[in-house]
Amino acid sequence: MGRRAVAWVAAVLCFESLCRAQWSNYAGDPQHSALSATASQTLRRIHWQTPVDLAPEYSDGDLLIHYGSPLVTAANTVIVPIKTGSRRQVQSEAAEAGGENSGPAMPPRDNFTVEARSGADGRVIWKQTTDYILPMHNWTPPLGLALAPGGRLYFPGAAGTVYYRDTPDNAAGEQGQLAFYGISQYEASRQSRHAFQRSVKISTPLTADALGNIYFGFVVEGNPGLWPLYDASGRKMESGIARIAASGESAWIPASVAAGDSAITQVVMNCAPAISNDGAVVYIAVSDQRAGYLLALSSTTLSPLARVRLKDPKSGRDAILSDSGTASPAVGPDGDVYFGVRENPCCRENHDRGWLLHFDSTLARFKTPSAFGWDNTPSVVPASLVSSYSGTSRYLLFSKFNDYWEAGGDGRNRIAILDPNATETEPVNQIAVMRQVLTILGPTPADDGVGVREWCINSAAVDPATKSVLANNEDGILYRWDLTTNTLSQKVVLTAGFGEAYTPTVIGVDGTVYAINDAILFAVGE
């Protein structure tokens, strides 16, 4: 075989397998469907485990930290974001660096590392520290990574910059740093670097589309009016949405301009952008730190295409867009868009479950909502996976369906399969919501004796091959929900269980299932 033929075969293999990650983004793919391309292994034992937090900070026995999703390459390398320091330590260092009137001082040191491990045995292939600085918040947000087609890994750095690493399956690979506002601006001087590090921070997980472009939200914190920052074209920096193309070219738009509303100040924290099925549209939520819009933007220019004010479907008031959740838009196979919000008034109107709002692809038509949306990104379930389903929808949705007793619920926490196009009357609020096709109750009684332990997931992995969903529970157990028998057919105990922020589940290229519990990533299978 000649060199040209060998190169062609290698290119085909790369395109068809090696360059297409198994789990490339938060919730699996750019649409956040959480659908696995491979069958999951039987849940029998823990293969290996590794901490995702070297300094977990507990609050009254709970762990109020959101951890970034692991990613899995087509060659079965697991990319793991790891928190290495204390949030309190970072805030203390930031305070010591000087008050808002002291000018741009040296920011606190980094607190994150990215590790690549073999999916087969957990062996470390490489690790790389990032100088990423979290936006200020009372909960610890996640470090959200993305794998682009072709194998390039992107992860956040300080000052709104993004690091990349090629060939992430290898111990060595080309590395670099990009800035959406112009790397020359960042590197102009020591003072410039410190000013950008102090003020500009990526505030959402990264999302990579099918062409290798990445998108994310960022904030400009503090009082930049005292030492204004500008991009390479001379535009003053404001909180907004950024795009870095596979070619390295970049664009950004202020959140207020994208929304057409001067009251808007930011992208909703932790809201991972979602991409339409044809790759033409980016969906992302923005707010005034309480209420706001779901936006549709051009994926090439970030120019506004559509917006919709997010409303509580019961009260008609502005829905609450909380920075303490991880709800991100999800795009269905038909192009419909789903996004979780918190109820208003909060938090007994709907038992603090929020609402999953539902729109067509243009955001012009409001469709039937679901009665659960808080801190939740729904997963896509092909209708053929549920043998008992007799409706007409080509796909269904998986969602957690906790009913928080602290907010007036019964504590009978469930997970559910929902029909996005059929309705039933919500018993709490007497409004039309998505029909529940299947539900199953959490199996473990709550510690206080009221109801059962919560399902602690923000995105659950769907396995079409076994017609099941893999879901994590606050009882410390990873479960398989068999959609044919409507039973929790398999389980593996991970920890003793306790209250924690919601986490994703992931299925690897060899069928290993990954779940986070008590600040540890567990690899589970046969």
Split at pLDDT 50, 70, 90, the class of 64 is confident
DSSP line for 53-108: BSS---BTTBB-BPPPPPEE-TTSEEEEEEE-S-HHHHHHHHHHT--TTS-SPPPP
Average pLDDT for 388-401: 97
* pLDDT at residue 100 tops 70: no
Mapping DSSP to helix (H, G, I), strand (E, B) and coil, where does residue 401 land? strand
| pLDDT for the residue 16 | 36
- Ranges 109-113, 115-119, 315-319: which has the least confidence: 109-113
Residue 108 pLDDT:
55
pLDDT number for residue 137: 87
Beta bridge partners of 367: 358
Residue 304 pairs with which residues in a beta bridge? 297
pLDDT of residue 195: 92
Buried b (16+ CB within 10 A) or exposed e, 196-222: bbbbbbbbbbbbbbbbbbbbbbbbbbb
pLDDT at res. 87:
59
Which pLDDT band holds residue 86 (cuts at 50, 70, 90)?
confident
Residue the block writes with tokens 């109801």: 451
d(CA 386, CA 21): 27
Which of 19-28, 65-74, 218-227, 399-408 is least confident?
218-227
Distance CA(383)–CA(386), nearest Å, equals: 6
pLDDT tens for each residue of 15-47: 333 346 799 999 999 999 999 999 999 999 999
What integer pLDDT is reported at residue 97 of this predicted model?
A: 44
Q: What six digits make up the tokens of 363?
A: 């955001």
- Which of 158-162, 212-216, 220-224 has the least mean pLDDT? 220-224
What's the pLDDT score for residue 222? 80
The mean per-residue pLDDT over the stretch 211-222 comes to 96
Q: Is the pLDDT of residue 327 over 50?
A: yes
Q: What would the mean pLDDT of 271-288 be, rounded to a whole number?
A: 98
Residues 232-256, mean pLDDT to the nearest whole number: 96
Q: For the segment 412-467, what is each residue's pLDDT rounded down to a tens digit?
A: 999 999 999 999 999 999 999 999 999 999 999 998 889 999 999 999 999 999 99
Cβ atoms 333, 321 nearer than 8 A: no
| Structural contact between residues 168 and 151, judged by C-beta atoms closer than 8 angstroms | yes
pLDDT at 163 over 50: yes
Rg (CA), the chain: 22
Contact, 218 vs 209, CB < 8 A? Answer: no
Residue predicted with more confidence, 407 or 7: 407
Range with the poorest average pLDDT among 223-237, 252-266, 357-371, 380-394:
223-237
- Spatial distance between the Cα atoms of 356 and 32, rounded to a whole number of angstroms: 15
Distance from C-alpha of 209 to C-alpha of 152, rounded to nearest angstrom: 12
3-state SS record for 444-460: CECCCCCCECCECEEEC
Q: Of 75-89, 181-195, 250-264, which has the strongest mean pLDDT?
A: 250-264
User: Worst-scoring range by mean pLDDT, 102-106, 199-203, 233-237?
Assistant: 102-106
* Spatial distance between the Cα atoms of 157 and 197, rounded to a whole number of angstroms: 9
> How far is the C-alpha of 492 from the C-alpha of 476, rounded, in Å?
9
The rounded distance, in Å, linking the Cα atoms of 338 and 363 is 10
Asked whether the predicted pLDDT for residue 99 surpasses 70, the reply is no
Q: How confident is the model at residue 226, as a pLDDT?
A: 63
The predicted model scores a pTM of 0.93
pLDDT band at 225 (very low <50, low <70, confident <90, very high): low
* Residue 89 pLDDT: 52
- Give residue 315's pLDDT: 97
pLDDT averaged over the chain? 91
Does the structure show a pLDDT above 50 at 10? no
Verify cis geometry, omega within 30 degrees of 0, for the bond prior to 345: yes
